[in-house]
Chain A
Amino acid sequence: MNAHLHNFLFDPIVVAQWILAFPFLLGIFVYALAVLFSNRKYRRWPLLRTFFWLLGSVCSLVAVIGPLASKAYVDFFAHMIGHLLLGMLGPLLMALGAPLTLILRTLPIHLARRLTALLRKKLLRMISDPVVAALLNIGGLWILYMTNLYAMMHEYTILHVLIHLHVFLAGYVFTTAMIEIDPNPHRASYTYRMTVLVSALAAHCILSKYIYADPPQGVLRSEAERGGMLMFYGGDVVDALIILILCLQWYRASRPIKVVTASKSSNEM
């Protein structure tokens, strides 16, 4: 019994799962705390945003811990479900939770100022450029599936943790580079973002067909075919959401000036 518990606790797979789950659990806790604090000082934080943050965190958690995460070690199809949740749907929903806006209004002013100064740093500015974000996101996937990195990921726990962190972070940075939810001091133009989004979407489509054709090392052909198709169509669904939000934001931003003045008062309510 004791030995069993010992094995369970030090099983590298279990350890990796808990390491990856921890930031998301912490995220839920901090977000909830911030909502409680800032609701005391300002007007109520929208319930929908809290819901999005929670749902996005749950999506990401399902991908990194529990039965699906364990199955992803041996089954490429399960891995791909996890990839869609951790790299696409989770980040999108969490971005819709507007965590930065929440944190900025919760922090005391001097700390909030320091945080915005940090966000203006050159490195962050570079990473959140749509092209760089797309390269980090989709380029990372190309390297993962087209080299032996995918096979190595299952051998080395540290690699497993780092790659999963990268998939989530790159997905999050990419999503926030495309749509305007949180403040971003250096937002790119709509044309630029739309062009990059189409290219990134295309690279995602092409990669999923390559996976179908050339299974990653150690993946059975039948599994690669199912996984590739899931990546293609599942990616389409999440991308449609991002396109919809981006187009909606363009639609609102480009409204005719006459209408802006007419509806300004009603808009501010």
Chain B
Amino acid sequence: MDNKYRKQNLWSGFLFGMGFIAFVDEAVFHQLLQWHHFYDRETTRIGLISDGLFHAFSWFATIGGLFMFADLRRRNAVWMRRWWGGVWLGAGAFQLYDGIIQHKLMRLHQIRYVNNLLVYDVIWNLTGALMLVIGLVLVKQLQQGSQREGEPRKRERAST
């Protein structure tokens, strides 16, 4: 497989995964559960800027990632497991960034405004780390596997 498409599969998945998890965060935790808010009064200015940038980027990434996937499809270059690896990586990376940098370092907002916040923080970041590990394992596995098998099998399936 062309090196360019290997990367594109990973990037397409990564961008989509990141955008998707950001969307879940906003839809579930902001809107449905209302655990945290649109704006927290203690928010630092830098935190606000990084939040805005990330929101804009993930909004774009969700749509852009899917178009990259469509591009791979018409080139018969979809490598489904590699794409999923990218999705897990993107989702995990975003969750960890949100949980550690935005929540803790910049104190943009907390997951929930309760006493035993630590429990929420630990679960939040562990979930992020777990997703990141799943992604890493998937991608690593494929890198070793592809050296033996050469091309991904998806290519034959896609052409039928």
Q: Is the CB of B71 within 8 A of A243?
A: no
Q: Is the CB of A239 within 8 A of B59?
A: yes
Given A202-B57, A243-B60, A254-B71: A229 and B52 within 8 A (CB)? no
- 0/1 per residue, B33-51, Cβ < 8 Å to A? 0000011010100001101
Q: Is the CB of B60 within 8 A of A197?
A: yes
Name which residue of chain B comes closest to A255, CB basis.
B74
Q: Is the CB of A213 within 8 A of B43?
A: yes
Given A197-B60, A240-B63, A243-B59: A202 and B38 within 8 A (CB)? no
CB distance from A204 to the nearest CB of B (A): 8
> Quick one: which of A201-256 are within 8 Å of B by CB?
201-206, 209-210, 212-213, 225, 228-229, 232, 236, 239-240, 243-244, 247-248, 250-251, 254-256
Name which residue of chain B comes closest to A258, CB basis.
B75
Which of A209, A236, A250, A254 is within 8 Å of B59, CB to CB? Answer: A236
Which of B52, B70, B71 is within 8 Å of A209, CB to CB? Answer: B52
CB distance from B158 to the nearest CB of A (A): 14
Q: Is the CB of A206 within 8 A of B71?
A: no
B117 CB within 8 Å of chain A:
no
A111 CB within 8 Å of chain B:
no
Q: Is the CB of A244 within 8 A of B60?
A: no
- Residue with the highest number of chain B CB atoms closer than 10 Å, among A204, A209, A210, A256: A209
Q: Is the CB of B56 within 8 A of A201?
A: yes
CB distance from B63 to the nearest CB of A (A): 5
Interface size class of A (residues with CB under 8 A): 20 to 34
CB distance from A236 to the nearest CB of B (A): 6
Q: Is the CB of A206 within 8 A of B67?
A: no
Q: Is the CB of B74 within 8 A of A205?
A: no
User: B56 contacts which chain A residues (CB < 8 A)?
Assistant: 198-199, 201-202, 204-205
User: B64 contacts which chain A residues (CB < 8 A)?
Assistant: 194, 243, 247
CB distance from B25 to the nearest CB of A (A): 14
Q: Is the CB of A205 within 8 A of B52?
A: yes
CB distance from B47 to the nearest CB of A (A): 10
CB distance from A254 to the nearest CB of B (A): 7
Q: Is the CB of B71 within 8 A of A202?
A: no
User: A229 contacts which chain B residues (CB < 8 A)?
Assistant: 38
User: B49 contacts which chain A residues (CB < 8 A)?
Assistant: 202, 206
A210 to B75, CA, bound (A): 44
Which of B43, B67, B74, B75 is within 8 Å of A250, CB to CB? Answer: B67
Which of B53, B63, B74 is within 8 Å of A243, CB to CB? Answer: B63
CB distance from A237 to the nearest CB of B (A): 10
A123 CB within 8 Å of chain B:
no
B55 CB within 8 Å of chain A:
yes
A203 to B57, CA, bound (A): 11
A259 CB within 8 Å of chain B:
yes
CB distance from A212 to the nearest CB of B (A): 5
A266 to B123, CA, bound (A): 54
Can you give 12 A-B contacts (C-beta < 8 A)? A198-B56, A201-B59, A201-B60, A202-B49, A202-B56, A203-B52, A205-B56, A213-B48, A229-B38, A236-B59, A247-B63, A256-B75
**Given A194-B60, A201-B60, A209-B51, 8 additional A-B pairs, CB 8 A:** A202-B49, A202-B52, A202-B53, A202-B57, A206-B53, A240-B63, A247-B63, A256-B74
